[in-house]
Structure 1
C-alpha cells in the first residue's frame, strides 16, 4: 500500500433520501497529511466528511484506509475520530470523564484510562481542569476537551467538522494554530471541513475546494490561491472583482483590446487555455493599484488599466476600501489613502494578479472594439 493512498475515496456517491449530494467523487489523502475541505454551505464537504466517518452510507463507490475497505463498517471500527462543530460534550461529566469516554466504551482498564486522560490534559493545556464540567470552561477550553476525547483513542485519522466556528475571532486564531501544531507533532492524518478560506490556508497542507458536490480544484494553499483553475475558484479564494473583457490569443500571449472603461494591454498566457473572444477577468481588491485620474505614472505594457469614478469609501483596517464604477461594472479596490467619493481614478492590475477565463457564450469579434470592454451581464464560466 502506497503512502500516497492512505485514505482513498473512490467513485463515491452519497446523498439524503432522493437528493444526491456527491456523485462519483474521487479523493486520495496521504498518511500524515492535513487536508481542508473548503466550500460554501451545501457544496457537499460535510456529507463527504460524514461518509468518511461512517455517519452517511454511500449509495456507490468505496472508502479505504491503509488498503482496508471500510465503506460498510460502523464508525467505531474505522480507526477514526470526529470532532463535531458543537463539540458534543456530556454536560454532566467532568473534563476527565469526557476525555476518557471513548476509552471507557472500549472497556480499557481504569488505570490505562487515567493515564491516557492525564496525558491528553497535559498535551492540550488542560492540567488542573479535570474535575470541572463543560459549563465551567471557556469556548477554547471546551474545544480542547473535544479534541482530547478524539485523540485519546489514538485514531489513525482525525476528522474535524468546523470545530472552530463557535469560537470568537481572537480565540479562533489561537486554537487553529494549536491544532495545526498538534497535528504535525503527532503526525496524524487530518481532514478538516471549513467555509473559512483563511482558516484552510493557514492549517492545511492541501486544500480541496468543493462546489455542487464536486471537487472544483485541489492543491497546496499557494497553488489554489495564485493559480485558480476556474472563475468560481478565483472568486472563492478572494478574487471577487469581476470584469468581462475582449481580446485574442496569440502564441504565448493574450491581447486585451480597449473597451468601455479599460485600456488595451498584452498579458502572458502563462499556460492558461484562453481562446480569442470574450473572457472573464477576476482580481482581488488588495492586488490593484489606485491612482488619481490625472496620474502620468508610466504603465507597464502587461498591466491592465481601468478608468472609473469612486463611489463609497470605507476603512476595514490597514487599507481604505473603495467601490469604483468602471463602465457598467462596480469593483472594490484597496489603497493606503482615501480617495474622495466622485473622484475620477485609474485602477491598475498587474498581469500576475489578473485571472482570466474563457467564457462559454459567443464572443464578439476582436476587430470590433465598439462591442468589447467591460460588461455587467451574467455569464456562465468554465468551472473545473
Structure 2
C-alpha cells in the first residue's frame, strides 16, 4: 500500500544490535496510526527514525513522494510531542507555544495570531502568562501539543505523551487528542505500550515485536483476528491451554484431554493443520457453570474445560476467579461468584477461541 508516509525496508543498528529489522509501513494522509508494543520492541526507535533523530542503516523514508531519509529533523515537516513534554520552564505558555514559530522567524503579528488560535483550540485561553510549573499535567500536555501544531506540521509524532498523566485525566485527554486529530485531518503516528489507548485513538494499530511488525490492522482486526500466538496474548487473550486438533473440511475436531471434553468447532478462516495446538481466550468471553457429568458425544457449543476454583476476588463489575486445570491456571471473569474449591465447567465459544500450532 502506497501512502503519504512510506517506510521501506528500514533497518537500524546500534553497534552489533539490530533494533529495526526491515520495517515496511505506509501511513495514509490523515490517518492516525498507533505503534503498539512492550518495552524494547523497537517502536520508539521507529518513531525517532521517522523524525530524523536516527539514521537507518538500510531503507528509505519518504513523505508525499519526497525522500527524507538523510534530511535533518527540522527539514522534514514533522512535529514531535515528547513523553516528558519538554517545555521550557522559564517560558510562559504563550512563549512555549510560539517557540517553533520564533525559530522559523514568523512575523510577530502572524505568530501572535497563531498562538491565540492554538490556545483557543486547546482551551488554554486564560493560561497564556503562566509557566509550566503553574499548570496541571493535562494542561502541560496541551501546551506541548499546541507547540507541535503551531508550526502546521505535515505529520504529528507522539511519543507516549499520556504516560505521565494520572489514569482519570488520561482517559479524557486521549479522546481530546483523537478528536482534534480528526478535526484537523492531520497525519499522526503515536507510540504507546497501552493497548486500550491504541484501541480507542487509532485508525490502525501496528503491533511490534523484536524490531519487526507482528501484525497491522484496524483495532477490530487485531483484536478479533490476531494472526499469531504473540498477538493474541498481547491483545488480552492470556488464558492458554494445550489441545490436539483434527482439521477436516470446514470443521475442527478437538480431542478429549485431561482437562477438556471432546468438541467440534467451526474452522472459519483459521489456517490450521491437524496436530498439537494451543488455544487462547480472554477471561471475560467464557461461560462458567457448576461441573456437570460429561455429556456423550462431542460438544458443539465450544470448548469445554473442567477445573477447580482456587481463588476469588472482586475487581469491580465481575467476579474474578483463578481456576486450576491440573498444572494450568486460568483467569475467568463471571457475573456469579463461585466458591473456592468448587468444581466448574468453563465453556469457550468457538468465536472466542484463538487456535495456533503448538511449537
TM range, normalised to the smaller chain?
A: over 0.9
Measure, in 2, the Cα distance between the counterparts of 1:227 and 1:302: 20
Measure, in 1, the Cα distance between the counterparts of 2:248 and 2:346: 25
User: Kindly tell me: are residues 106 and 85 of structure 1, through their superposed partners in 2, closer, same or farther at Cα, counting changes over 3 Å?
Assistant: same
Please identify, of 287-296 and 239-248, the stretch whose mean Cα deviation from structure 2 is larger.
287-296
Does residue 348 of the first structure (1) align with residue 350 of the second (2)? no
TM-score normalized by the length of structure 1: 0.91
Does residue 328 of the first structure (1) align with residue 330 of the second (2)? no
Q: Offset of 1:270 from its aligned partner?
A: 1.1
Post-superposition Cα deviations, 1:204-260, rounded to whole Å, max 9, x if no partner, equal 000000000000000000000000000100000000001110121111111001000
Q: Offset of 1:275 from its aligned partner?
A: 1.2
What secondary structure does 1:286 align onto? coil
Conserved 8 A contact 2:264-2:299:
no
Does residue 132 of the first structure (1) align with residue 130 of the second (2)? yes
Measure, in 2, the Cα distance between the counterparts of 1:308 and 1:198: 30
User: Kindly tell me: are residues 115 and 336 of structure 1, through their superposed partners in 2, closer, same or farther at Cα, counting changes over 3 Å?
Assistant: same
**Which residue of structure 1 lines up, in the alignment, with residue 229 of structure 2?**
231
After superposition, the CA RMSD in angstroms is: 1.5
Measure, in 2, the Cα distance between the counterparts of 1:359 and 1:261: 17
Post-superposition Cα deviations, 1:81-128, rounded to whole Å, max 9, x if no partner, equal 000000000000000000000000001111111110000000000001
Measure, in 2, the Cα distance between the counterparts of 1:217 and 1:263: 32
Find runs of 4+ consecutive structure 1 residues off by over 2 angstroms.
15-18, 294-300
Give 1:25-36 correspondences, 5 Å limit.
Answer: 25-36=23-34
**Equivalent residue pairs, number:** 358
**Which residue of structure 1 lines up, in the alignment, with residue 302 of structure 2?**
303
Unmatched 5+ stretches in structure 2? none
Conserved 8 A contact 1:15-1:47:
no
What secondary structure does 1:301 align onto? coil
Conserved 8 A contact 2:33-2:202:
yes
Unmatched 5+ stretches in structure 1? 361-384
Measure, in 1, the Cα distance between the counterparts of 2:27 and 2:318: 39
Give 1:170-181 correspondences, 5 Å limit.
Answer: 170-181=168-179
**Which residue of structure 1 lines up, in the alignment, with residue 258 of structure 2?**
260
What secondary structure does 1:208 align onto? strand
Post-superposition Cα deviations, 1:325-350, rounded to whole Å, max 9, x if no partner, equal 01221100000121111111110100
Does residue 146 of the first structure (1) align with residue 144 of the second (2)? yes
Measure, in 1, the Cα distance between the counterparts of 2:37 and 2:327: 29
Please identify, of 312-321 and 37-46, the stretch whose mean Cα deviation from structure 2 is larger.
312-321
Q: Offset of 1:17 from its aligned partner?
A: 2.8
Does residue 337 of the first structure (1) align with residue 336 of the second (2)? yes
Measure, in 2, the Cα distance between the counterparts of 1:289 and 1:149: 50
TM-score normalized by the length of structure 2: 0.97
Post-superposition Cα deviations, 1:17-37, rounded to whole Å, max 9, x if no partner, equal 332100111000100000000
